[in-house]
C-alpha cells in the first residue's frame, strides 16, 4: 500500500474552469508539498503545509490555493485554469528536518485546453 | 533564491562505462539530497548528505558533498540500463527545517 497517493493521475480541463488535485498520505508526516515539473524549469514549489490548516507559499503560487483540513489530505486548487498551468504536478511528504528526504507521489498530468 | 546548477543536462553512455554528474551552487546548503526519477513516476530519494566532505556509497553509486557544502557529485561505476533516469539534486538551507530547492536534473541514458 503506497504511503502517498495522488488523484486523479490524468486530467484534461478547459481554460477558466476550477480544478482540484488531491494528495493523500498514510504516513502521518507533518509536512506536505505541491510541486510542478516543467521542461526547462525542473521542480518548482507551489505551496507547502507544515501542519493542519498551516500553509505557506512557494516560488510559483500565483493562481493556486491549497487547503489542509486533515493531516492526511492536502488539496491543490487551480482557481481558474490557464494554459500556462498545463504541467505535471507532484505531491510530496516529509517528516521535516535536514536529515529527512521527501517521498513523492506518482504525479498528476494536467492539460488545460 | 538558492540555485542549484546541474551538469551535464543530458548524458548518453554505453553499459559498463563510468560517469559523474555534478551539482553546484553559490549558496551554502545544510544538506543535499539526490533523487532518481523514472518516466511517469515521482522522484525517489537515493541519499542525503549533511557534512562537508562527506562521501556515501550505495552499491555502484558514490555521492560526495563538497567541503564548503556548495557542491556535490554523483559517480556511477559500470553503468547499467537500469540506471537510466533523471537524476535530481536538491538542497536545504537551514539546519532545522527548510523546503528543498531542486536542480533541473541530469537525464542519463544507458544503452545495452
CB A109 within 8 A of CB A85: no
pLDDT at A96: 78
Query: What is d(CA A91, CA A36) in angstroms, rounded to the nearest whole number?
Result: 9
Q: Tell me the average pLDDT across B4-33.
A: 95
Exposure pattern of B63-89 as b/e (b: 16+ CB <10 Å)? bbbbeebbbbbbbbeebeeebbbbbbb
Which residues on neighbouring strands pair with residue B91, listed in sequence order? B32, B101
Q: Within 10 Å of residue A96's Cβ, how many Cβ atoms?
A: 14
Taking 70 as the threshold, does the pLDDT of residue B94 lie above it?
no
Pairwise CB contact (< 8 Å): A45 & B99: yes
pLDDT at B85: 97
Percent of chain B with pLDDT over 70: 94
Pairwise CB contact (< 8 Å): A101 & B33: yes
Q: What is the pLDDT along chain A (113 residues), one digit of tens a residue?
A: 569 999 999 999 999 999 999 999 999 999 999 999 999 888 999 999 999 999 999 999 999 999 999 999 999 999 999 999 999 999 999 987 767 889 999 999 999 99
Of A90, A98, A106, the CB nearest to B92: A98
Of A31, A45, A101, the CB nearest to B45: A101
- Which residues of chain A are within 8 Å of residue B92 when distances are taken between CB atoms? 98
Q: Look up cell 485546453; give the residue.
A: A113
Give the pLDDT band of residue B97 (cuts 50, 70, 90): low
Taking 90 as the threshold, does the pLDDT of residue B92 lie above it?
no
> A26: alpha, beta or left, given left = phi > 0 and alpha = psi -120 to 50?
alpha
Nearest Cα residue in chain A from B32 = A98
Query: What is d(CA A105, CA B55) in angstroms, rounded to the nearest whole number?
Result: 28
pLDDT at B30: 87
Amino acid at each position: 500500500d503506497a504511503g502517498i497517493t495522488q488523484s486523479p493521475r490524468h486530467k484534461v480541463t478547459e481554460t477558466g474552469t476550477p480544478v482540484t488535485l488531491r494528495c493523500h498520505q498514510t504516513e502521518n508526516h507533518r509536512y506536505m508539498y505541491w510541486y510542478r515539473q516543467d521542461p526547462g524549469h525542473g521542480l518548482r514549489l507551489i505551496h507547502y503545509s507544515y501542519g493542519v490548516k498551516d500553509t505557506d507559499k512557494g516560488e510559483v503560487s500565483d493562481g493556486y490555493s491549497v487547503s489542509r483540513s486533515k493531516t492526511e489530505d492536502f488539496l491543490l486548487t487551480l482557481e481558474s485554469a490557464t494554459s500556462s498551468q498545463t504541467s505535471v504536478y507532484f505531491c510530496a511528504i516529509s517528516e521535516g528536518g535536514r536529515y529527512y528526504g521527501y517521498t513523492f507521489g506518482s504525479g498528476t498530468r494536467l492539460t488545460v485546453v | 533564491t538558492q540555485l542549484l546548477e546541474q551538469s551535464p543536462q543530458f548524458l548518453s553512455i554505453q553499459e559498463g562505462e563510468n560517469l559523474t554528474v555534478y551539482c553546484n551552487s553559490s549558496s551554502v546548503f545544510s544538506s543535499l539530497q539526490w533523487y532518481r526519477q523514472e518516466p511517469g513516476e515521482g522522484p525517489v530519494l537515493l541519499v542525503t548528505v549533511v557534512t562537508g566532505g562527506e562521501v556515501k556509497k550505495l552499491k555502484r553509486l558514490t555521492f560526495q558533498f563538497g567541503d564548503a557544502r556548495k557542491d556535490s557529485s554523483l559517480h556511477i561505476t559500470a553503468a547499467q540500463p537500469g540506471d537510466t533516469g533523471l537524476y535530481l539534486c536538491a538542497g536545504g538551507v537551514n539546519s532545522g527545517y527548510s523546503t528543498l530547492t531542486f536542480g533541473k536534473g541530469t537525464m542519463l541514458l544507458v544503452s545495452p
